[in-house]
Copies of this chain bind each other. A is one copy, B any other.
Amino acid sequence: MTNPVVKASGIVKRYGHVTAIDHSDFELYPGEILAVIGDNGAGKSSIVKAICGATIPDEGEILIEGKKVNFTSPIDARDMGIEIVYQNLALSPALSIADNMFTGREIRKEGFLGKFLRMLDKPAMETFAREKLTELGLMTVQSIKQPVETLSGGQRQGVAVARAAAFATKFIIMDEPTAALGVKESRKVLELMKDVKARGIPIILISHNMPHVFEVADRIHVHRLGKRLCTIDPKDYTMSDAVAFMTGAKEPPAEITA
């Protein structure tokens, strides 16, 4: 087997009396789509946040491409080409769609204006943003200059997904990227994920939507009570098996538990 892109072991995170991650392991391999499934509150968001530096774990070790990392902020992760779609989206409500899409990597005008006066090329950013939304089938966004807070729930999620997909170079974490999306828009996101995978960029997908998971995932990480319960191959198990494992209705066979 190839070397994992991400390898985390023994991660622990506690908040006062509440345990969010309980000695969990995690692996992501090159070029795969890894789905993470589990009950609400199982700790899925917590573990991916620990991987990308959005929370700092109390214990445990994280290796990225074999090198130990100690991210103190998601910016460190981003600088390595890791993009994240957070469950709460992490958009700046009062800024426009284009501004949100480009935070931290704005396009500047050509020539003097851009070089010395550092002027932004707003038309270029707006055109790009509109293109990306259209790719996602979000045809209801009437003005690309709308502040994000005036968008509908699904439109917002579309902005976050488009941003991550456009800029990732190492891997992407998507925390329930289709939760608020409609049928058509969800389909586009799944296509987009396949495209990204085809570009050789692995994806971590957290989702409660079993048909989606079984459609796109190469491997499924089942999370339960703060730790990885098992990893399954979607070709070997059915959706109802996966659901049974994650809700505690069935014990997974010993050979796949981790």
Contact = CB atoms under 8 A, between A and B. Distances in A.
Interface of A: 15, 17-19, 38-42, 44-46, 87-88, 138-143, 146, 150-155, 157-158, 176, 179-186, 208, 210, 225, 243, 246-247
A140 B243 contact: no
Nearest to A136: B40
The list of the 7 closest CB pairs from A to B, nearest first, reads A40-B154, A41-B140, A41-B152, A179-B179, A40-B182, A87-B153, A184-B247
A153 B88 contact: yes
Contacts of A185: 39-40
How many copies the complex holds: the figure is 2
A17 B247 contact: no
A181 B207 CA distance: 10
Contacts of A141: 41
Contacts of A186: 208
Given A39-B185, A88-B153, 14 more contacts: A15-B150, A17-B143, A18-B150, A39-B182, A40-B138, A40-B155, A40-B158, A40-B180, A41-B140, A41-B154, A45-B152, A46-B152, A153-B179, A182-B208
Nearest to A18: B142
Nearest to A225: B140
A22 to B, nearest CB: 11
Contacts of A42: 140
Contact of A18 (B41, B146, B154, B208): B146
A103 to B, nearest CB: 22
A12 to B, nearest CB: 15
